[in-house]
Chains A and B, each alone.
Chain A
Amino acid sequence: MKKSRADRTNGNAPKSIVSAGASPRNYGLSLPGVNDEEFGGSLIVIEGMDGSGRSTQISLLTEWLESEGFAVQTMGLRRSGLVAKDIDALLAENTITRMTLTLMYATDFYDQLEHRIIPALRSDFVVLADRYFYTLIARAAARGIQRDYLHGLYEMALRPDLTFWLNVRPEAAFEREFRKSHTISYWESGRDMSLSNDLFQSFIMYQAKMKKEFEALAEKQGFIAMDGEASVAAVNTELRKRIAAHLGIQRTHYRPSAALASLWR
């Protein structure tokens, strides 16, 4: 059976009420007013560029976990109640500078962490994150902001229990994205960085930079790298195997319901 965080720490250890403390659950600091040792739940992150199949896998995993009796909460980038709309507006304008964008995304991230993830973990949910702050670090670092600054910014983030990285070649991601929406977004192709006037070239160059950032993060943070170009079913089987082991689920047999059958390619 799944071990909650409280089980993993020494039960006799005095509970810290100091807010600015390191714990196994954070990256060096805890959030003001949050004692992150007192809640359980599991935080599972799926990272990968657009076109790597993240959202498909999140939909399938949600259904599988619910069928196994686990309550699921999801999060993603630009989904906070506080600033998601403002970031949308800023992105549409293209006049925003990199530091401001970095900090707006950090606000969005922490708002979700405090108002969505932590309450869910307190209620023993499985939180599935469709991207995490790693993407935000990679994007900002690719734009020249110092990595140690960025890691300091996210020092109070919760450390995921599992992080999967769906790795795809930029060329394959381009094809998938183009097939889906018949265009490539300004930001996903790094147009703000003036890498190339050719959209395809710009996309490939930007995603290659992102990939480099991710490779460094993957090693340091212990990501589980997976071949994002394999079939949906193959990736899903592997994901379920790893998650089942973590949560203590015995059977991993799963077939998507009629509602999700179209995703099973």
Chain B
Amino acid sequence: MANESVTATESTAAGPIELTSATPPVLEPARGYPGALIVVEGIDGSGKSTQLYLLKRWLEIGGYRLHFTEWNSSPLVKSATRRGKQRRLLTPTTFSLLHAADFADRCERQILPLLHSGYLVLADRYIYTAFARDVARNCSQRWLRNLYRFAPVPDITFYFRAPLDVAVNRIMSGRPKLKYYEAGMDLNLSLDRAESFRIFQGRILAQYDEMIESDKFVVMDGTLPVNKLQMQMRHFVKSRIELSRFAPKKAARRPR
């Protein structure tokens, strides 16, 4: 089992999982829907997207009702984000707010309605990405926790943890050119983009580690072989979520 010590035993199937004791009550009731939300988190190169893809394929092949969503994918704020990045207008605060607006759009128009209609929602990155990255950019943690209060709390948050060197090397070998904000160049950590990226990712990793207990992350060892990790993930999902609820509905008998 991936990590027994940090998992929230009974809380997943029944009542809401509390974020931290400092977190104020959520804007909308986070539960009271028949759907379930599975989230993967981790720094770039930790292997989380590959694993979520394989989990998605497994569930798709099984015919389960599911929806896949990614961080930063809504067309709504794309032009603003692009403009901000191109002209380097973004500050830590506006960078954070634009991503929150983008997430709010997805949350209100996709995630929440789908959870209410009984879907299994898989999210590649979620609000913890914002918490880790924006705190690494010196935004206030208190402000960020408040900002995302409207987000439904996941049933499972898989945290893919890989050592910084492993993750950074995976990224650097596959993507030779790092973008300005991606490398954290706005923070003046280093004039060298690769070095800045390394320091920035290190800060983000430290922030993720801080959240393991408070946000009940299920820690996954990102250095394990892909298929082994995937089997652990599937096993954990089966143990925590009653998948039959999402199975294809049999043709209902017509009432006479």
In whole angstroms, what is the CA distance A103 to B99 when docked? 9
Chain B contacts with A in 79-129, Cβ cutoff 8 A: 79-80, 83-84, 89-94, 97-98, 100-101, 104-105, 107-109
Q: How far is the CA of A247 from the CA of B58 in the complex (A)?
A: 69
Q: Is the interface of B mostly helix, strand, loop or mixed?
A: helix
User: Which residue of the partner chain, among A19, A29, A104, contacts B101 with CB atoms under 8 Å?
Assistant: A104
CB neighbours of B76 from chain A (8 A): 90, 96, 100
Among the stretches B140-148, B206-214, B223-231, the one at the interface with A is B140-148
Name which residue of chain B comes closest to A155, CB basis. B143
Q: Mark B22-37, 1 if CB is under 8 A from A, else 0.
A: 0010010000000000
Scan residues 80-109 of chain A and give those whose CB is less than 8 A from a CB of chain B.
81-83, 85-86, 90, 96-100, 102-104, 106-107
Question: Do residues A31 and B93 form an inter-chain contact, with CB atoms below 8 A?
Answer: yes
* A interface, size bucket: 20 to 34
The distance from the CB of B62 to the nearest CB of chain A, in whole angstroms, is: 32
The smallest beta-carbon distance between A134 and chain B, in angstroms, is: 18
Q: Could you say which of A29, A85, A104, A107 contacts B140, with CB atoms under 8 Å apart?
A: A29
Q: Is the interface of A mostly helix, strand, loop or mixed?
A: helix
Residue of B nearest to A152 (CB): B146
Ranked nearest first, the 10 interchain pairs of A and B with the lowest CB-CB distance are A152-B146, A103-B101, A99-B104, A32-B138, A97-B108, A107-B97, A20-B140, A100-B105, A32-B92, A100-B104
- Residues of B in contact with A (beta carbons under 8 Å apart): 24, 27, 76-77, 79-80, 83-84, 89-94, 97-98, 100-101, 104-105, 107-109, 137-140, 142-143, 146-147, 149-150
Please name 19 pairs of A and B residues whose Cβ atoms are closer than 8 Å in the assembled complex, sorted by A: A20-B138, A20-B142, A29-B140, A32-B139, A32-B140, A33-B91, A85-B79, A99-B107, A99-B150, A103-B97, A106-B97, A111-B94, A145-B27, A149-B27, A149-B146, A152-B146, A152-B147, A153-B143, A153-B146
